[in-house]
Structures are given as structure tokens and as C-alpha cells.
Structure 1
Amino acid sequence: MKRATCSVLLLILFVAGCQTITPEERRAIDGRTCSSYGFKRGTDAFSRCLLDLELDRRATNRAQFDDMRFNSPPLIIYGGRHYRW
């Protein structure tokens, strides 16, 4: 019984961790971040803050993708077996 309860709790935590943030939620979070920096909504500085946050996020995603793509050895499949170069 205790094992089943632990399994269910782990499954719930796993599923909860897989949720994605909608663009609207991301925008609201970014807006709160820029407001916390002292920028006022509707100003050019606030818009620039939102843009900078988005550009930083995209640069981070590109860097992570490039890191995975260029730093992992190629996978070679030969005769039904997998080999790392």
C-alpha cells in the first residue's frame, strides 16, 4: 500500500512538472518582471524590457539546442547495432 501511494505521488509530480506556459502566461510573467524592475507599463522602456526578456530567452534556447547538437557524438547505426563515434 505504501509503495502504491508513493508511486501515485511520483506520477502526479511528474505530470505537474510537464505543464507548459501559454504565451499569455509568459507575457504576464514578463510584465510582472519588468514592473518589478521599476518600468512603467505603456512606456518605451517597458516595451524594451519585454523585448530584452524575449530575446534573452530565445538566445538561451538556441545555445541549449546548439550545445545538444554539436557536443554530442554522432550516433552510427550499422547492422542493427548502435555505436557512438
Structure 2
Amino acid sequence: MRIAASIFSLLSIAFVLSSCQTAEEIRAADEARCGGYGFKRGSENFANCLMNQDLSRRADQRAFMESNNDFFWGPTVVVGGPGYYYHRGYWRH
């Protein structure tokens, strides 16, 4: 069973690393997309298109992190709040 778990974890790590894109690949994809929209390379509109692609990607990353906030950081615990505290899996007052 340990061997199967080890193999599964190695395969999952390899899958995650293979799906990563380098900065050059991302830039090339953004330039291709903006060129596909009809913007000429070197123009102000092309630069604005590249900027909007980057801003959209960052907004998607923020939305993903915020939607999975409990997964990444755990439940919110208020320390020294108005009489409620978290103890052994339950909120008490």
C-alpha cells in the first residue's frame, strides 16, 4: 500500500509540474491572442490588450484563492471576540 501511495504522489507531482507554463509561454500565448484580435504589435492598443490579459489572469488567481480560502488557511477563528471561541471542533460562548 505504501508503494502505491508513493507512486500516486510522484505521478500527481509530475502532472502538476507538467501543467505549469513558463513566463515566455504565457507571453507568447497572450501576444497570439491579442494579434488574433487584430491589434498590431507595437501599438498602444496591443500593449493595452496584453495588460488586460495579465490583469484578467491575476483576477482569476485572486478569485480562486478567495473561493478556496478555508481550504488554504482553515476556518476563521476570532481570538478575543465577543464571548465566542472555538474549542474541540465546536463554537462555544
| Equivalent-residue separation in structure 2 for 1:65 and 1:43 (angstroms) | 34
* Structure 1: runs of 5 or more not aligned: 1-10
| Equivalent-residue separation in structure 2 for 1:71 and 1:40 (angstroms) | 43
* Structure 2: runs of 5 or more not aligned: 1-10, 77-85
User: What is the number of residues matched between the two proteins?
Assistant: 71
What TM-score results when the alignment is normalised by the length of structure 2?
Answer: 0.60
Moved over 3 A (4+): 14-18, 70-73, 75-78
Per the alignment, do residues 84 and 65 of structure 1 end up closer, same or farther by CA in structure 2, a change over 3 Å counting?
farther
Identity of aligned residues (%): 36
| Equivalent-residue separation in structure 1 for 2:66 and 2:52 (angstroms) | 21
Larger Rg: 2
Aligned to 1:38: 38
**Mean CA deviation greater in 31-40 or 62-71:** 62-71
Coordinate RMSD, CA, aligned: 3.1
What TM-score results when the alignment is normalised by the length of structure 1?
Answer: 0.65
Higher relative contact order (CA 8 A, sep 6+): 1
Contact 1:34 1:50 in 2 (8 A): yes
Per the alignment, do residues 16 and 74 of structure 1 end up closer, same or farther by CA in structure 2, a change over 3 Å counting?
closer
Aligned to 1:6: none
